Structure 1
Amino acid sequence: MKTIFKAGSTVLFQGDSITDWGRDGGLLMDMFPEGGGALGKGYAYRAAKIYELLFPHNPVNFVNRGVSGDRCQNLLERYQKDILEVKPDYLSIMIGINDTWRRYDSNDITSKEQFETNLTELLEKIKKDLPDTKLMLIEPFLLPTDPEKEIFWEDLGPKIEVVRRLARKYADVYLPMNGILTNSLIEKVPTEELSYDGVHLSDPGCAIMAKEYLKAWAAIEK
């Protein structure tokens, strides 16, 4: 089996709570009293463990810098420390759900236009400062677990379209997680088995995302 990442490379997971998921130094550590570990307990951890099992003789450095609650503006503010200084060879970014969520729980609105401006600025920085870094954009998602979040779609849908459009311009690979998870539901996986609130993934949901994450990288590294 051909390896996915080059030996000795650094693979950086970047995003919000879905990426953070209890990592040491993150904002969800209290979810895991025994310690979430450097990679947390979500899809990033599972992707790294699957990779290590598949390719034990091709070690890479997996780094998780996701921060719970982050919006795209926060990623811009953390860019120097949590992206540029890490110097990743492979970088994945999943951001956007909190740009929507804060509209409904705090009346703190990030318009589609501002979201696009922020994400474009972030991607321009990455391409300028890290021209050899392979970039994956991951589509934010919302599952129909919580009926009260159905209204989120009027805000999130346009932001997903922004991510898709910018991925065509800047990314080496795009991971359409909303579509992938929706297909899992069509295949009769109960919604509550994937996410308790429509946003944060369960263990089975994280396992699906980890598998799709590695498949997406493998497709461009053939």
Structure 2
Amino acid sequence: MRSSTINRRQMLMSSAAAAGVTAALQASSSRAQVSAASKPHSNGVILFQGDSITDAGRARKTEANPNNATTLGRGYPMLIGAGLLEQNPAANLRIYNRGISGNKVPDLSSRWKNDCLDLKPTILSILVGVNDIWHKLNGKYDGTVEDYSTGFAALIEQTKKALPRTTIVICEPFALRCGAVNDSWFPEMDQRRAAAKDVATSAGTVWIPFQTMFDTAIAAGTKPNYWAGDGVHPTLAGHGLMARTWREVVGL
């Protein structure tokens, strides 16, 4: 009886979180851009870029091999890739993960030709921003919100010029109030999130509201550390929610 009650409570909480996330996605300002990637292109290339959240322990030595579980890591890129490959066996998709732990916007810029442009992705997903503030708080970086905004906008502009047919997906950086995340992160973290959204809106990219997604799930009854133990790096549940949300917004 106790097990049944717990399972029912968990199911209701999960349903509430899913309903809230769906409402948040419907309110996304970039929802109109989703149609560009509503179906996997035959022979399409999907590339995930970012920091440790995207990296998720991926194998670097074999990164040139697409569709490999170890090269996709243990996070949301692998979960997204597994679902897409299973559901689209005839599409001949190639899925890559080139996230690198610790990366900030300047780090992406320095390796963009080899790790992005040369791969000619059909869909490019970028999640970057948390290290731009975390490393600043640790005294290892002095970049401002404006630096983040202008650098990110320049990276997207460069990409659009080189790959005009690529669907670009910008993911909202997030921080949950637990673990390493405390009041010192705010309001600058919120300012950087707003800057990322401005970049996405100005460039007309798809926008994934990850912070809104997590906030909605927490409001439905789960604690922040259920989704990200240190407030930054997602748990398995957090990666699962990210993967589901990414696919719903992108429409794949």
Q: Would the TM-score normalized by the shorter structure come out above 0.5?
A: yes
**Aligned residue for 1:21?**
56
Match of 2:223 among 176, 182, 190: 190
Deviation at 1:166, TM superposition (A): 1.1
Is 2:179–2:225's contact at 8 Å kept on the other side of the alignment? no
**Aligned residue for 1:11?**
46
Distance 1:52 1:3 in 2: 15
SS where residue 174 of structure 1 aligns? strand
Query: Is the aligned partner of 1:142 residue 2:175?
Result: yes
Deviations 1:125-155 (A, max 9, x none): 0011110100000000001122753311222
**Aligned residue for 1:214?**
247
Deviation at 1:56, TM superposition (A): 2.9
Structure-2 change in CA distance of 1:121 and 1:204 (3 Å): same
Is 1:16–1:71's contact at 8 Å kept on the other side of the alignment? yes
Deviations 1:141-184 (A, max 9, x none): 00112275331122211111111111112143100100001101
Larger Cα-atom Rg: 2
Is 1:17–1:68's contact at 8 Å kept on the other side of the alignment? yes
Deviations 1:88-142 (A, max 9, x none): 0100111110000011112522101111121111011001111010000000000
Q: Kindly report which structure 2 residues correspond to 1:1-222, keeping only aligned pairs within 5 A, or say none.
A: 4-25=39-60, 37-146=70-179, 148-218=181-251
Distance 2:90 2:140 in 1: 50
SS where residue 37 of structure 1 aligns? helix
Question: Which residue identity does 1:15 align to in structure 2?
Answer: G
Same amino acid, percent of matched pairs: 27
Is 1:3–1:58's contact at 8 Å kept on the other side of the alignment? no
Question: Which residue identity does 1:79 align to in structure 2?
Answer: W
Runs of 5+ unmatched residues, structure 2 = 1-36, 62-67
Deviation at 1:59, TM superposition (A): 3.2
Distance 2:184 2:153 in 1: 26
Question: Which residue identity does 1:197 align to in structure 2?
Answer: D
Is 2:149–2:195's contact at 8 Å kept on the other side of the alignment? yes
Question: Which residue identity does 2:200 align to in structure 1?
Answer: A
Number of aligned positions between the proteins: 210
Tell me how large the CA RMSD over aligned residues is: 1.9
Is 2:45–2:95's contact at 8 Å kept on the other side of the alignment? yes
